[in-house]
């Protein structure tokens, strides 16, 4: 909790705002987005930076958005409700996704399958994207498209980065569509050998 206040202060001071100006900004989504340091990683309008994906394309519902901020699954810091209330996150959401229009390139499943093979994704994530010893499962139900494409360009673990020179945005959209329609793996209770 203390750490968050330090982040808030550092961010505020970095932008040359006095404390009173910080609090004057605090009653709207844009203000919260700045004061709580979201802009540092997601950009001033939520458009994304090398430190975090775009949150501006409306890929998540407001409930999913709040849930992610409460319980991030990657490198993002967690914001509990006593620091950032649901109402404040709703205001942030309204600020970063003013109109939910633009969706990125339309993906094509059959081409996505070829790109997934040609670019070597299958070597670590397995033929159907189901994951294995070298990489996690990617589908079905992949993470949101903005987060997906951001991760492929800016991985922070054992995965090599793919720039837009080797893998275009259209390639990413195609791979994503391919992963979306993979079949659910059978649940353990559906495997007779295991239910004996
Ligand atoms: C230190 C950098 C950092 C800060 C600060 C930060 N984020 Fe993030 N955020 C990330 C990263 C990186 C991801 C990608 C997934 C991960 O690693 O958690 C992410 C993912 C998200 C997602 C999920 C997007 C999706 O499409 O699945 C949301 C929503 C989000 N951030 C909102 C916020 C909000 C709101 C704030 C401020 C209250 C914030 N973030 C502060 C780095 C940050
Ligand atoms: C050399 C092995 C390797 C290759 C090749 C590879 N990945 Fe990965 N990938 C990983 C590993 C390991 C992770 C787990 C996080 C990490 O270590 O970076 C990962 C994580 C990811 C994630 C994040 C998953 C999540 O739930 O956060 C995405 C998305 C992804 N890979 C997509 C791709 C795509 C698309 C390709 C092909 C263009 C690809 N990967 C090629 C090894 C690989």
pLDDT of the chain, 196 residues: tens digit per residue: 456 555 555 565 555 555 445 555 556 999 999 999 999 999 999 999 999 999 998 889 999 999 999 999 999 999 999 999 999 999 999 999 876 555 556 899 999 999 999 999 999 999 999 999 999 999 999 999 999 999 999 998 889 999 999 999 999 999 999 999 998 877 777 777 776 5
Q: Residue 125: CB within 6 Å of ligand 2?
A: yes
- Distance between Cα 54 and ligand 2 center (Å): 19
**Cα–Cα dist 136/139, whole Å:** 9
Return the number of other C-beta atoms located less than 10 Å from residue 64's C-beta.
12
pTM of the complete model: 0.85
3-state SS of 29-69? HHHHHHHCCHHHHHCCCCCCECCECCCCCCCCCHHHHHHHH
Return the number of other C-beta atoms located less than 10 Å from residue 177's C-beta.
21
- Distance between Cα 149 and ligand 1 center (Å): 14
123-126, Cβ contacts within 8 angstroms, sequence gap of 24 or more? 124/159
Helix (H) or strand (E) holding 123: helix 121-125
What domains sit in the chain, N to C, each tagged with a CATH number? 2-96 (1.10.760), 109-180 (1.10.760.10)
Q: Residue 146: CB within 6 Å of ligand 1?
A: yes
Q: Which residues of 114-129 are buried (b: 16+ CB within 10 A; e: fewer)?
A: ebbeeeebbebbbebb
């Amino acid at each position: 909790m203390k750490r968050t206040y330090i982040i808030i202060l550092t961010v505020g001071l970095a932008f040359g705002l006095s404390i009173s100006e910080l609090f004057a900004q605090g009653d709207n989504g844009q203000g919260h987005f700045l004061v709580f340091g979201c802009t540092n990683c997601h950009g001033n309008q939520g458009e994304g930076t090398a430190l975090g994906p775009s949150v501006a394309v409306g890929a998540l519902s407001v409930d999913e958005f709040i849930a992610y901020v409460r319980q991030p699954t990657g490198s993002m810091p967690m914001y509990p409700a006593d620091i950032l209330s649901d109402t404040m996150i709703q205001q942030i959401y309204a600020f970063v996704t003013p109109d939910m229009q633009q969706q990125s390139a339309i993906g094509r499943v059959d081409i996505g399958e070829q790109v997934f093979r040609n670019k070597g994704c299958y070597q670590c994530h397995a033929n159907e994207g189901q994951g294995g010893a070298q990489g996690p499962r990617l589908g079905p139900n992949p993470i949101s498209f903005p987060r997906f494409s951001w991760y492929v360009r800016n991985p922070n673990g054992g995965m090599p980065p793919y720039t837009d020179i080797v893998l275009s945005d259209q390639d990413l959209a195609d791979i994503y569509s391919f992963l979306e329609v993979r079949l659910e793996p059978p649940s353990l209770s559906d495997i007779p050998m295991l239910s004996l």
